[in-house]
Amino acid sequence: MLKRHYVPRSDGELMYSSPPTIRSYLPMFLNLGVYIITFVLWMYLDSAYYGFGSKIITPLTGAMWIVGAIFALLLPSQREEIIKHTKWFILGYVGILFLYRYVIIAVSGVSADNLTAAFNQAIASSSATAVVGWLQNLLWIISITYPIAYFIFQAKKIPQFFGTRSKQRATREIRDIRNNTKPY
């Protein structure tokens, strides 16, 4: 039988608490697991994509972490939301690039002869190389525009936090509405 006890929060107040269980720690372990997976994928992509990883993926991933941290400090009322979005955006970014690497590997082995046999139709030999070139361009687009979209998403929160109207103007408008409202 679990022993339950009361923990006072102040002199005159009692609070009921139960001993910690694995269920109470599970969200923390899952959250830690997400961060560990993100970090492992990030380091894997840095080495798997060679120069592209160290010159494009790693700096942009680091920039997303830094922007998330700065915005979480600057906007305290949205801190939890920013941290959550940063975590999931970066996991999505490295996850997409991780899967995309294997898509490129799978497609790069396809030749024009394979496509001809698959479609039972003559395919130009340049088609196979065009697909690989298209995938390479798509890699550039994904690896650069995804972090830019994250930066824009976070920057959009600045006007929401500071507001577009001054406090005095908003208060004046509220008083005008209150004073000019008819009682009937």
Q: Which residues contact 34 (CB under 8 A, 6 or more apart)?
A: 87, 91
State the residue for tokens 């970090």.
39
Predicted confidence pLDDT, tens digits, the chain (184 residues): 555 665 555 666 666 677 888 888 898 999 999 999 999 999 999 999 989 999 999 999 999 999 999 999 988 888 999 999 999 999 999 999 999 999 888 887 777 787 788 878 887 777 767 777 888 899 999 999 999 999 999 999 888 777 655 666 767 776 766 666 665 5
Packing angle of the helix pair 79-108, 125-155 (nearest 10 deg): 180
pTM to 2 decimal places: 0.74
pLDDT for residue 35 = 96
In our burial notation (b when 16+ CB lie closer than 10 A, e otherwise), range 132-165 reads eeeeeeebeeebeebbeebeeebeebeeeeeeee
Residue type (1 letter), 111:
S
Residue type (1 letter), 131:
V
